[in-house]
Structure 1
């Protein structure tokens, strides 16, 4: 299953890059009651990096609805209170991507499927795993500094 996910992700990424499509996505900075940040490792793409949970926004889907859907799909959290923090642009994966960043808290336990997400956990913002992505580290630094929450991803 993971090979199939990896192949599909790679093919989709190449097609989007070739066609120079504009995509929309969401990321969520979700904290538990101990102020620890949720990070995940995907089961596809760069599987060695911890990143913020998130994903694509479907056609006619609102960003907030996409953020809620992604949390439910990736880590089984269905009722986090989320608020919009800001908007970012990136071309890091060969596509023009708009990312809406959300913040929220939860006290629900994590539930991952082991396919799309291979690992998830809560970490103190000042003590992230060594394998945390540079973009995630930038978002955490912005959070600790109080913003701004916009610009380049």
Structure 2
């Protein structure tokens, strides 16, 4: 009951969210994260703050989560998620030029590079779809997360 009320309060107070995710690839390896509160591997990223551009959010999240200073970003795709009455919108950027300075946060349990041909079984479903699209040469014009 409490969870249901919290979800309703959240939906009424934050009816729309915008986030960014990053496909960070060097050579044939992609950089993924595992959150301290989750069980899957994900693309790095997070929410867009008020007054922040999408690119600024992507660069900030890359630095905060994995210690990455990014080169040129390429818009990869825009996706929507309406599961559980959400209205989440995710903008995905791809970046093949970046430098890493290892960083530690309480939110991120692990940061690791995986060969694109040997991805872990415990990828999040959305991450798996985005990487399949990346390997196929690009995303649909728009789609569901």
What's the TM-score bracket when you normalise by the shorter of the two chains?
Answer: 0.7 to 0.9
Rg (Cα) greater in structure: 2
Q: Tell me if 1:27 matches 2:21.
A: yes
What stretches of structure 2 of length at least 5 have no aligned partner?
none
**Cα separation, partners in 2 of 1:128 and 1:93, compared to 1, 3 Å:** farther
Give the RMSD, CA atoms, in angstroms.
2.1
Number of residue equivalences: 139
- Residue by residue over 1:106-128, the C-alpha shift from the partner in whole angstroms, topping out at 9 and shown as x without a partner, is 45235231411110111111211
* Alignment-derived partner of residue 3 in structure 1: none
TM-score (structure 1 length as normaliser) = 0.81
What stretches of structure 1 of length at least 5 have no aligned partner?
1-9
- Alpha carbons 1:36, 1:125 under 8 Å: kept: yes
**Cα separation, partners in 2 of 1:92 and 1:38, compared to 1, 3 Å:** farther
* Alignment-derived partner of residue 43 in structure 1: 36
Please report how far the alpha carbon of residue 71 of structure 1 lies from its aligned counterpart in structure 2 after TM superposition: 0.3
**Cα separation, partners in 2 of 1:111 and 1:92, compared to 1, 3 Å:** farther
* Alignment-derived partner of residue 88 in structure 1: 79
- Which secondary structure does the structure 1 equivalent of 2:118 belong to? coil
